[in-house]
Amino acid sequence: MDRPAVKNILFGLVAAGILAAMSAMAWQSRLNAHPDELDHVNAGRFFIQYWDFPAMDDPRLSNTFSNYGVSYLQQLDVVYFFAGKFAVVAAPLLGPDYLALRFFNIFLFAILMVLFLRLPDDRKIAFLPLFITPQIWYVFSYFNGDAFPMFLSFCMVYAVARLDPPVLPAQTGLTSPQTRLLLLLGVLLGLVCISKQNYYVLAGFTLAFFGVCGLAAHNIKAAARNAVLVFLVAGTLFGARWGYNIYVNRTVRPEVPTQNAEKYADKEFKPSSQEAGTQYWGLHMRDQGLSYPQLFTIWTWHIWTFRTSFGVYDYMKIYAPLIYYRYIGYTFWTLAGALALALVINGGPGGAAGLLVFLVFAGLTVFQSTWHSWINDFQAQGRYLFPIGAMAGMILARFAKAANRTLPVTSVLAAAMLALSFYSFLWVGLPLIQK
């Protein structure tokens, strides 16, 4: 058996192992043993029964409001529609509707694993972020609104990896392979932007990424034409969903969201409590007098966000021993440094520019998460940083030749992170989760 075949078998076994671990978490953990899962499940249940998107004052929303007094169905997200229809088909096989909704996410991750195995060996490095943290596996193992945009963003990575080279002079006709991939990229980007607001930064990165590709290919004009096509499709899709949302809510009074929050929110989250200054301690911390630097010096936002990026379970209750986060941190930063050096040394001007663009937009992703914690609600959670994984994947796809020169080192580091991730998921999260 040749070496590529052996590698594919090994990768397939790893993918199967991850899917088995995720399925075990989905089967064994009780409903709402995960962050806000019941609120997400209730939103999915709406579309098990109905087909239409509800207005903010629709009485059918009454059982979908969270303790914040907000329903996920008030947003542009489309994941609940797709998951609800998946559950209609899967429930006879899986039993409870919440299990069917959970396996919608696992089904999405299985698709990503198939796409990973279909990539040429020299482009497989683009999917590296999916294998080095158990937090991604955890998010795909219960029902929530974060797995779907993560899935879409890595479908974008796959499309970029299949554009070979990523920037070509525009080809005529909608049937050309390049045009089909660009159209797909536009559809995926549009769906991402109507799935989760913290992924808006990925749209900005994608635009800059086309500039990097144009620089690397010495053809800025072709890159600009391709970018226009992608963003035209994405903008059309986003505009259609946004316009439909306006149409559905055209007769809703402006005060309805506040009234809903006052009616359905827990006492400490009600608008009246916020006006009286008796609200939950983590709300509007800037208005309470907390300075931005104090997010880090007092509330250690960076420490909690790092840990919740690499394996924290339940409602931020189940942690691995602290030494685990230390070692996975050392390994992660060494891996990231090795890949960054490879882009600078072996990627030419395009590689250096790609690294710079990645760092800028990764920094913006981190900043938007800190800003949300400061002015809205203190949530030091790694899931808000997931767009960075797709950004890294797109850069690695474009500069795979440069990145692959570090394989002797990065393979060992990635394998170490994979082993640590399995330890966290199988020996910490799975045994201790509520059942």
- Residue pair 406/351 in contact (Cβ under 8 Å)? The answer is no
SS (H, E, C) 92-129: HHHCCHHHHHHHHHHHHHHHHHHHHHHCCHHHHHHHHH
Can you count the helices (H) and strands (E) in the chain? 19, 2
109, 107, 46, 100: which is closest to 78 by C-alpha?
46
- Residue pair 200/193 in contact (Cβ under 8 Å)? The answer is yes
| AA identity, residue 57 | D
In a domain, 297, yes or no: yes
Alpha-carbon torsion angle 69, 368, 403, 327, nearest 10? -70
CB neighbour class for 76 (10 Å; exposed up to 12, middle 13-18, buried from 19): middle
Q: Per-residue pLDDT for the chain (435 aa), expressed as one digit of tens each?
A: 667 777 888 999 999 999 999 999 999 999 999 999 999 999 999 999 999 999 999 999 999 999 898 999 999 999 999 999 999 999 999 989 999 999 999 999 999 999 999 999 999 999 999 999 999 999 999 999 999 999 999 999 999 999 865 555 555 455 677 888 999 999 999 999 999 999 999 999 999 999 999 888 888 888 898 999 999 999 999 999 999 999 999 998 888 888 888 888 888 888 888 777 778 888 888 988 899 999 999 999 999 999 999 999 999 999 999 999 999 999 999 999 999 999 999 988 889 999 999 999 999 999 999 999 999 989 999 999 999 999 999 999 999 999 999 989 999 999 999 999 999 999 999 999 999
In a domain, 19, yes or no: no
User: What's the structural domain count of the chain?
Assistant: 1
| Residues 99-104: contacts with CB under 8 Å, at least 24 apart | 99/26, 99/27, 101/40, 101/41, 101/44, 101/45, 101/143, 102/26, 102/141, 102/142, 102/143, 103/23, 103/26, 104/44, 104/143
- How distant is the alpha carbon of residue 237 from its chain centre? 19
64, 40, 43, 26: which is closest to 142 by C-alpha?
26
The alpha carbon dihedral of 277, 281, 284, 289 has a sign of positive
In a domain, 293, yes or no: yes
**How far, in Å, CA of 90 to CA of 100, rounded?**
6
Coil/strand/helix, residue 316: coil
Determine phi and psi for 26, rounding to 5 degrees.
Answer: -65, -45
- How distant is the alpha carbon of residue 203 from its chain centre? 13
**How far, in Å, CA of 64 to CA of 47, rounded?**
12
- How distant is the alpha carbon of residue 120 from its chain centre? 24
**How far, in Å, CA of 288 to CA of 51, rounded?**
42
In a domain, 239, yes or no: yes
Q: Where are the alpha helices (DSSP H) in 256-399?
A: 256-264, 271-276, 294-297, 301-307, 322-346, 348-375, 387-398
Conformation bin of residue 119: beta by default, left when phi > 0, alpha when psi is -120 to 50: beta
Q: 183 lies in which domain range?
A: 26-432
The predicted model scores a pTM of 0.94
Beta bridge partners of 318: 313
Conformation bin of residue 316: beta by default, left when phi > 0, alpha when psi is -120 to 50: left
